[in-house]
């Protein structure tokens, strides 16, 4: 009985040993497989010289360097913001010759009207500070209407005769508007000098006019079809009716001179000072008349506009000047100046537009009566001087000094 029990015991021991042995073998196999999968494949062997070492992956894990950590922190402190502004769309002035008008007569035949546009701006911030701002897109929501100005080219034609539908300008300091074409009728309003009126009807020496919400009758003798013609005659000639001399004109030149007044140069004097060997493409020489015309229409110094154009376009040689007829870099954002800059059909359009923008926003305080019965907005007004314009117009703090050097250069060519 004991012998049988012993045999059973030996069998149990043998089975147990076999189980332990098999478990050992299985464990060993798992260990080999694990080693082969997770260790052997991570070995990097020498490659031939034509192999691409960048394609050898050392590990699935990414080691974080100091630069990575700093980069992640920086990204968290950066953000982008898009916002939409609705702003005015400035109209363009078109000049055209009219042989039926007396030579050099300025006749406005269609007043311009501003439109509206939505500009989408992208801003980039770092630590809540703006580090970059650029224009993403423009959508015109209301089209602008061009202003049309006719320039007389007739040599033997007398002053233009007003007809129904024309615009005229007030030449007296204060002009009474009457309810009827009679001096004894009721006074309905008073108009300031240079107010623009539309003639609805002509009755002998009286005009029936409309000016904004004002409608009534005025004396025709107190108007002119040419904007500020009386001022032009006074400012471009001396008491003897002759062209003002160099000494008369240059006596007003200074860094702090008011620029919301015409220079007083005649058309011929503008042509003289803007004929220069530095103007290799003759851009300023061939467009000298428009610096004279903007003086007569907008109460601004035409030499200032010429000097800005010379400075910004390097005498008309800049890419914007040559490709887009843009002498002033108007509309150019620092981040994308070429594509953002306005494209003009000719140089006169850019000269006229910059003049109106400066008059409306920079050199006159808010509420000042300006061209076309409009009032100055004065958003960037800091005085009617070069330094005042420089405050908001240019990021270059020396811009005013650079422009003044060109103004002096032109004045001294008289």
Report phi then psi at 30, rounded to 5: -60, -40
Virtual torsion, Cα 277, 280, 285, 291, nearest 10 deg: -110
Residue 3: C-alpha distances to residues 7, 9, 10, 89 (Å): 6, 10, 11, 116
For residue 31, the model assigns a pLDDT of 64
Sign of dihedral through CA atoms 211, 214, 217, 218? negative
- pLDDT value, residue 70: 41
- Which tokens in the block code for residue 314? 């390097």
> Residue 327: its pLDDT value, please?
93
Query: Please, what's the b/e burial string for 248-261 (b: 16 or more CB within 10 A of its CB; e: otherwise)?
Result: ebeeebeeebebbe
Q: How does pLDDT run along the chain (414 residues), one tens digit per residue?
A: 444 454 444 545 566 677 777 777 777 666 666 555 544 443 333 333 333 333 333 233 344 344 443 444 445 588 888 878 888 888 999 999 988 878 888 877 777 888 998 888 888 888 888 777 777 777 888 988 899 888 988 887 666 678 898 888 887 777 889 999 987 789 999 998 888 889 999 988 899 999 988 999 998 878 887 654 434 443 444 444 467 888 899 999 999 999 999 999 999 999 999 999 999 999 999 999 999 999 988 999 999 999 999 999 999 999 999 999 999 988 776 556 777 778 899 999 999 999 999 999 999 999 998 886 688 999 999 999 999 999 999 888 999 999 999 999 999 999
- Dihedral sign for Cα 272, 277, 278, 279, please: positive
Per-residue b/e over 181-218, b at no fewer than 16 CB within 10 Å?
beeeeeeebebebbbbbbbeeeeeebbbbebeeebbbb
Count CA atoms closer than 13 A to 220's CA, side-chain side. 17
What confidence score (pLDDT) does residue 228 get?
A: 43
Q: Structure tokens of 133?
A: 């701002």
Helix (H) or strand (E) holding 232: helix 229-235
Quote helix, strand, coil % in the chain, to nearest 5.
35, 25, 35
Among candidate residues 287, 292, 298, 291, the one with its CA nearest the CA of residue 357: 298
In this prediction, residue 134 carries a pLDDT of: 73
Please enumerate in sequence order all residues whose Cβ is within 8 A of that of 150, keeping only pairs 6 or more positions apart, or say none: 95, 96, 97, 98, 101, 106, 107, 108, 109
CB 357 within 8 A of CB 300: no
Describe the crossing of helices 399-411 and 302-313 by its angle, rounded to 10 degrees. Answer: 120
Alpha-carbon span 219 to 174, nearest angstrom? 12
Q: Determine the pLDDT at residue 360.
A: 94
CA angle 388, 394, 395 (to 5 degrees): 115
What is residue 34's predicted lDDT score, i.e. its pLDDT?
Answer: 54
Is residue 147 within 8 Å of 108, Cβ to Cβ?
yes
Q: In this structure, are residues 384 and 259 in contact, taking their beta carbons and an 8 Å threshold? A: yes
Identify the three-state secondary structure at position 99: strand
**SS3 of 90, please?**
coil
Q: Closest Cα to residue 175, out of 210, 218, 228?
A: 218
Query: What is the reported pLDDT for 33?
Result: 60
SS3 200: strand
147-154 and 93-102 as β-strands: parallel, antiparallel, unpaired? Answer: parallel
pLDDT of residue 2: 46
Q: What is the pLDDT of residue 75?
A: 59
Strands of the sheet with 115-126, listed across from one edge: 78-89, 115-126, 129-142
pLDDT at 38: 47
- For residue 65, give the DSSP letter: P
Tell me the pTM.
0.64
């Amino acid at each position: 009985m004991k012998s049988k029990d012993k045999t059973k015991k030996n069998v149990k021991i043998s089975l147990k040993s076999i189980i332990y042995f098999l478990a050992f073998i299985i464990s060993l196999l798992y260990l080999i497989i694990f080693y082969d999968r997770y260790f052997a494949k991570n070995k990097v062997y020498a490659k031939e010289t034509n192999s691409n070492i960048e394609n050898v992956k050392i590990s699935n894990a990414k080691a974080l360097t100091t630069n990575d950590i700093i980069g992640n922190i920086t990204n968290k402190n950066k953000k982008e913001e898009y916002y939409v502004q609705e702003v005015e769309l400035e109209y363009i002035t078109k000049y055209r010759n009219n042989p039926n008008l007396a030579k050099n007569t300025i006749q406005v035949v269609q007043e311009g009207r501003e439109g509206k546009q939505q500009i989408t701006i992208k801003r980039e911030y770092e630590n809540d500070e703006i580090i970059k701002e650029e224009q993403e897109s423009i959508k015109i929501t209301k089209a602008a209407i061009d202003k049309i100005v006719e320039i007389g080219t007739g040599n033997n034609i007398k002053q233009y005769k007003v007809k129904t539908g024309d615009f005229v300008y007030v030449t007296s300091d204060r002009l009474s508007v009457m309810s009827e074409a009679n001096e004894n009728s009721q006074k309905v309003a008073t108009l300031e000098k240079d107010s623009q009126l539309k003639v609805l009807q002509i009755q002998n020496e009286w005009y029936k006019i409309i000016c904004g919400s004002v409608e009534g009758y005025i004396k025709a003798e107190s108007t002119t079809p040419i904007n500020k013609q009386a001022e032009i005659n006074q400012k471009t000639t001396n008491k003897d009716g002759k062209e003002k001399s160099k000494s008369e004109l240059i006596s007003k030149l200074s860094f702090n001179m008011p620029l919301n007044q015409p220079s007083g140069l005649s058309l011929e004097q503008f042509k003289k000072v803007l004929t220069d060997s530095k103007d290799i493409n003759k851009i300023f020489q061939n467009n000298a008349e428009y610096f004279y015309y903007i003086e007569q229409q907008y109460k601004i110094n035409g030499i200032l506009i010429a000097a800005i154009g010379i400075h910004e376009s390097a005498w008309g040689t800049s890419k914007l000047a040559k490709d887009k007829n843009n002498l002033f870099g108007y509309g150019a954002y620092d981040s994308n100046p070429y594509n953002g800059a306005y494209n003009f059909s000719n140089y006169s359009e850019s000269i006229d537009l910059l003049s109106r923008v400066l008059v409306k926003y920079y050199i006159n305080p808010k509420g000042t009566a300006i061209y076309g019965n409009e009032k100055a907005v004065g958003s960037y007004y800091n005085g009617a001087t070069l330094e005042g314009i420089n405050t908001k117009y240019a990021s270059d703090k020396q811009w005013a000094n650079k422009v003044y050097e060109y103004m002096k250069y032109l004045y001294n060519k008289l």
